[in-house]
Amino acid sequence: MKEKGIHLIFLGPPGGGKGTQARMIMEKINAIQISTGDILRQAVKDATPLGKTAKSFMDKGELVPDDLIIDLIKEKLSSPDFPSNWIMDGFPRTEKQAQYFDKLLKDINLSLTAVIEISVPDQILIERLTGRRVCKCGETYHIIYNKPKVEGKCNKCGNEIYQRSDDSEKVVKDRLMVYYKQTVPLIDYYQKQGLLKKVDGTQDINKVFNDILSIINY
């Protein structure tokens, strides 16, 4: 498996721990993490045409249109120096994106190693997201469950940590509704392909990490 590369999709609700685990697994297996959410937030910050369009959807907790996301992924995967191990964090999120991704992978002779579904009940998700703090370097914290060593500062780079604008309770509830309607059908989609592996995301962060490593035999 290691020679061919490890190709993972992390699927799960907002706040399920996809980003946290993707960053930990990425370091462990020497992979790249492709977070469509991070790419879009950077585009918003840079006020690029993609960012300007995406912002209105993201602020409301809605999904950014499929075509824009598909173009973005196509561009990433066609890069000549794209590494052999990768983790898709937050993509695909609709059946249209998943079907497109299957086709794209087939065209470039790649297959998925596994689709990891990190499941967590709604009540915990709301608490996690409203208590989440992030750093511009990509690190993520929680005011109770994953505190930085120095209050308000990132452990890795020392910058101020802050709350994401879509982590208000109102927008979090809207994002959860969007997840159930548009992304949950992918659980069945990948189950039918024999790729789905479930992980209990309510466990301690390190236990979730170890469960994912055993799924990928690492």
Name the site residues for ligand AP5 (rule: CB under 6 A).
Answer: 12, 14-20, 36-37, 40, 57-58, 61-64, 69, 90-91, 93, 97, 128-129, 132, 140-142, 145-146, 175, 201, 203, 205, 208
The helix (run of H) or strand (run of E) holding residue 174 is helix 169-178
Helix, strand, or coil here: 8?
strand
Q: How far is the CB of 193 from ligand AP5 (least distance, A)?
A: 19
Helix (H, G, I), strand (E, B) or coil at 7: strand
Instruction: Determine the Cα–Cα distance for residues 54 and 140; give it in Å rounded to an integer.
Output: 22
State in angstroms the smallest separation of the CB of 55 from ligand AP5.
9
Which residues does the annotation mark as catalytic?
Answer: 18, 93, 132, 164, 175
Outline where 78-121 has alpha helix (H): 95-107
Q: Which residues contact 49 (CB under 8 A, 6 or more apart)?
A: none
- Least distance to ligand AP5 from the beta carbon of 3, Å? 29
Question: Which two structure tokens, joined as six digits, stand for 17?
Answer: 């721990």
Nearest to ligand AP5 of 97, 113 (CB atom): 97
Nearer CB in complex with ligand AP5: 4/28: 28
Give 15 or 25: the residue with its C-beta nearer to ligand AP5: 15
